[in-house]
Amino acid sequence: MEIRRATTVADLLAAEHLYDGPPREDWAARFLASPGHLMLIAYAEDGVPAGFVSGIEMLHPDKGAEMCLYELSVDESHRRRGIGRALTEALLAEARERGCYGAWVGVDTDNAPALATYRSAGSVDEGVFAMHGWPLAGDEGRG
């Protein structure tokens, strides 16, 4: 298993089977062109993407930079082999290299595999919070 950063639209589209919904070329191109956005992909021996983690570096004038772990997914047939943890640790290493003061992820409280994965990568439980949203464009843009 090898973890590499996605650098082309083709890299991002090849991980299609791991996403919640179908990717779009224009969104993939915009993702790559956006500063602070990154995706790391774990490749199985056959070269097929087995998992990915995406991160967004967030900036604020009084805080500096922190890394948000946006999405983490491992193909069902490759789970429980350490790939989720390795991807999480790879994103944390990238965050450290970029000088981020911390990293965070939002997790459903009943998502036991995700909670176990983040804990095994050294996360600290920072408590439960409510999430509020404003749907702005129907289903367009959501996975």
Q: Which of residues 69-98 bind ligand COA (CB under 6 A)?
A: 72-74, 79-85
Q: Could you say whether residue 3 binds ligand COA (CB under 6 A)?
A: no
Cross-strand partners of 53: 40, 72
Q: Could you say whether residue 40 binds ligand COA (CB under 6 A)?
A: no
Using CB under 6 A as the binding criterion, the count of chain residues that bind ligand COA stands at 19
If the CB atoms of residues 29 and 116 are measured against ligand COA, the closer one turns out to be 116
Burial class (CB in 10 A: 0-12, 13-18, 19+), 91: buried
Residues 6+ apart with CB under 8 A from 43: 1, 2, 3, 4, 49, 50
Interaction site with ligand COA (CB under 6 A):
72-74, 79-85, 105, 107, 111-114, 116-117, 120
